[in-house]
């Protein structure tokens, strides 16, 4: 038993765990700093591009979102209703364009990769959204645009 008065013994016993927590946190910060400084990138590298499609998204007076294939200029899909994931994804990319003072008419690139992942990329800003990160049902909203409006699958309207 310690010969220290009770209140000093309590302070000493509290400081020891706090000191260890501080040492561990400092070690983690140093390790992360060294990893970043060395150029270590913890992200998985992108798989090769299997297909890509340049698309423009336009708000219609009815509140729907029209999807146009940039190559053909044709509307290939139209989304009605709330479409929360589609709208929030486009809003995030458009916000970055607005922040950088860029024109909103440039197309976005929908990219399908050899490992099945989908990416929506804005070449104007370099921003991207890895769609599979939000679950299969959300990624499927954009996956349907791969062949939309082609002879293979006529996706005219999504609800």
Tens-digit pLDDT string for the chain (159 aa):
556 555 555 555 556 777 778 788 888 888 877 776 766 666 667 888 899 999 999 989 998 888 999 999 899 888 887 778 888 899 899 999 999 888 878 899 999 999 888 999 999 899 999 988 888 888 888 988 887 767 655 444 444
- Boundaries of every domain in the chain: 1-42, 49-143
- Buried/exposed code over 95-110 (b: 16+ C-beta within 10 A; e: otherwise): eebeeeeeeeeebbbb
| pTM tops 0.75 | no
- Sorted by sequence, the CB contacts under 8 Å of residue 60 that are 6+ apart come out as 66, 78
Q: Where are the beta strands (DSSP E) in the chain?
A: 49-59, 65-69, 75-79, 108-113, 118-121, 128-130
DSSP class of residue 58 equals E
């Amino acid at each position: 038993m310690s010969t220290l008065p009770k209140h000093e013994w309590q302070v000493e016993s509290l400081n020891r765990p706090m000191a260890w927590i501080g040492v561990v946190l400092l070690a983690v910060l140093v390790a992360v700093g060294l990893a970043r400084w060395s150029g270590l990138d913890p992200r998985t590298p992108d798989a090769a591009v299997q297909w890509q499609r340049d698309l423009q998204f336009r708000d219609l007076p009815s509140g729907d979102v029209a999807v146009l294939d940039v190559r053909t200029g044709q509307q290939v899909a139209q989304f009605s209703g709330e479409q929360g994931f589609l709208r929030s994804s486009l809003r995030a990319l458009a916000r970055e364009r607005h922040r950088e003072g860029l024109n909103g008419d440039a197309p976005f690139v929908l990219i399908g990769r050899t490992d099945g992942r989908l990416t929506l990329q804005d070449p104007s800003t370099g921003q991207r959204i890895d769609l599979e990160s939000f679950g299969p049902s959300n990624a499927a909203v954009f996956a349907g645009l791969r062949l939309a409006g082609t002879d293979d699958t006529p996706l005219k309207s999504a609800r």
